[in-house]
């Protein structure tokens, strides 16, 4: 299991951190372009500005949605950005969480390594594909696309098909392509653009993959302890998030620079500016949440047997005031 990278940022400074009557809020996100709203909000101080001096902030970054949701449910983190797949899966199993807003949509791409011999979807039979997690957003999008083809062979071996499924941190996909350990990746940006820049081929584009442009592939989510016991803090967190998304859309070049610097700090990988520009152009940054699409996506998770029972998602998305 990949380790969790922990980064601390206390509003009051080291000597006063945790002192007095300060509230503490822990925010989680991933080192992906999809999660640029968290990077921008952190860099520009929007969280501190909205939450105020009485709140001590801590940040934790995660390699996948499963570890994020485990931390959210346990109270290790209070809120953050994650794909809807893990949220829906955990909510259907009783997790007390709430989607506060969208963050981004689009950006999921399926690429094939040069060594794979895969030139089209028809060549995928018997190949190995990788996603950040089992039943994660990108996994469900890819497997739903395959399911819609109506070819039983072109499915995960988990449900009787011929494709072998493995999981791993997207930052490691290039090395896994080069070693021949995996043939295909259903991957978020900027990793898709990086893989393509290093010779991989796009097999399924953002426009063609299931729920490619309609699904919020990243959402702002909080546990019910925050939304019910400290609703004023949840509201301020949402204000900071909204401001960050607006900044990205109004200042794309500055937002790209923030994303590049943030990802370098988190992964020790410096992204080429042109790659990041291309990656972010594939993504729509929006706070909107299409609840009907979320429910349809959740039903796909059930049909693909990631969920044991037919899901019920009433109450998952917070009401807009």
| Measured distance CA(144)–CA(42) in Å, rounded | 34
Query: How many folded domains does the chain comprise?
Result: 2
Task: Residue 167: give the domain boundaries.
Answer: 108-204
What is residue 110's predicted lDDT score, i.e. its pLDDT? 98
> What is the rounded average pLDDT of the residues 23-30?
95
The CA distance from 107 to 217, in Å, is: 8
Tell whether 177 and 46 lie within a shared domain: no
Co-location of 221 and 263 in the same domain: yes
Rounded to whole angstroms, the Cα distance separating 280 from 259 reads: 10
Q: Between these two residues, 8 and 86, which has the higher pLDDT value?
A: 86
Are 97 and 139 found together in one domain? no
Determine, yes or no, domain membership for 6. Answer: no
Q: Which residue has the tokens 């803090």?
A: 233
pLDDT in tens, 251-265: 999 999 999 999 999
Choose the final residue of a domain: 204, 233, 260.
Answer: 204
Say yes or no: 194 and 145 in one domain: yes
How high is the pLDDT of residue 321? 59
Q: Mean per-residue pLDDT for 62-70?
A: 92
Q: Is residue 299 part of a domain?
A: no
Say how far residue 69 (Cα) sits from the centre of its chain.
Answer: 11
Q: Is residue 18 a part of any domain in this protein?
A: no
Examine the domain organization and report whether 58 and 113 are in the same domain: no
Q: How far apart are CA 192 and CA 201, in angstroms?
A: 10
CATH of residue 77's domain is 3.40.190.10
Whether 196 and 281 have beta carbons less than 8 Å apart is answered as no
Is the residue at 78 inside a domain?
yes
**What does the DSSP assignment read for 242-267?**
HHHHHHHHH-HHHHHHHHHHHHHHHH
Beta bridge partners of 251: none
In 3D space, the residue among 104, 83, 128, 276 whose CA is nearest the CA of residue 192 turns out to be 276
Q: How much is the pLDDT for 11?
A: 29
219 and 199, same structural domain? no
102 plus 113 within the same structural domain: no
Residue whose tokens read 């070819």:
151
Query: Are residues 245 and 128 part of one domain?
Result: no
- In whole angstroms, give the CA distance from residue 150 to residue 214: 22
Q: Edge to edge, what strands does the sheet with 97-105 contain?
A: 5-8, 55-61, 23-29, 79-82, 216-223, 97-105, 284-285
Check whether residue 190 and residue 243 sit in a common domain.
Answer: no
In a domain, 30, yes or no: yes
Mean pLDDT of 202-219: 92
Phi and psi at 61, nearest 5°, equal -105, 150
Whether the model pTM is above 0.75: yes
d(CA 67, CA 63): 7
Beta strands at 184-187 and 128-131: parallel, antiparallel or unpaired: parallel
Specify if 3 maps to a domain. Answer: no
Same domain, yes or no: 56 and 198: no
Is 258 domain-assigned?
yes
């Amino acid at each position: 299991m990949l380790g969790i990278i922990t980064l601390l940022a206390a509003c009051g400074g080291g000597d006063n951190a945790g002192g007095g009557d300060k509230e503490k809020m822990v925010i989680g996100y991933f080192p992906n372009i999809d999660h640029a709203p968290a990077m921008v909000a952190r860099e520009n101080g929007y969280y501190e500005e909205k939450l105020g001096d009485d709140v001590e902030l801590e940040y934790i970054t995660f390699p996948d949605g499963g570890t994020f949701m485990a931390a959210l449910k346990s109270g290790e983190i209070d809120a953050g950005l994650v794909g809807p797949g893990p949220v829906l899966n955990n909510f259907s199993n009783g997790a007390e969480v709430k989607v506060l807003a969208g963050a981004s949509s689009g950006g999921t791409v399926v690429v094939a390594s040069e060594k794979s011999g895969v030139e089209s979807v028809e060549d995928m039979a018997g190949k190995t594909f990788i996603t950040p997690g089992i039943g994660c957003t990108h996994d469900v999008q890819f497997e739903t696309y395959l399911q819609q083809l109506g070819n039983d062979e072109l499915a995960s071996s988990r449900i009787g098909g011929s494709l072998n499924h493995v999981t791993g941190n997207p930052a490691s996909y290039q090395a896994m392509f080069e070693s021949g350990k995996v043939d295909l990746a259903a991957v978020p940006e900027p990793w898709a653009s990086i893989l393509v820049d290093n010779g991989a081929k796009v097999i399924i584009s953002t426009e063609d993959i299931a729920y490619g442009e309609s699904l919020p592939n990243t959402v702002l989510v909080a546990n019910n302890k925050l939304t019910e016991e400290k609703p004023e803090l949840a509201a301020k967190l949402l204000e900071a998030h909204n401001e960050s998304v607006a900044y990205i859309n109004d200042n794309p070049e500055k937002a790209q620079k923030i994303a590049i610097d943030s990802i370098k700090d988190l992964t020790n990988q410096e992204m080429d500016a042109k790659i990041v520009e291309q990656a972010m152009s594939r993504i729509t940054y929006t706070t909107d949440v299409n609840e009907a699409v979320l429910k349809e996506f959740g039903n796909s998770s059930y049909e693909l047997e990631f969920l044991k029972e037919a899901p019920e998602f009433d109450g998952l998305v917070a009401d807009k005031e």
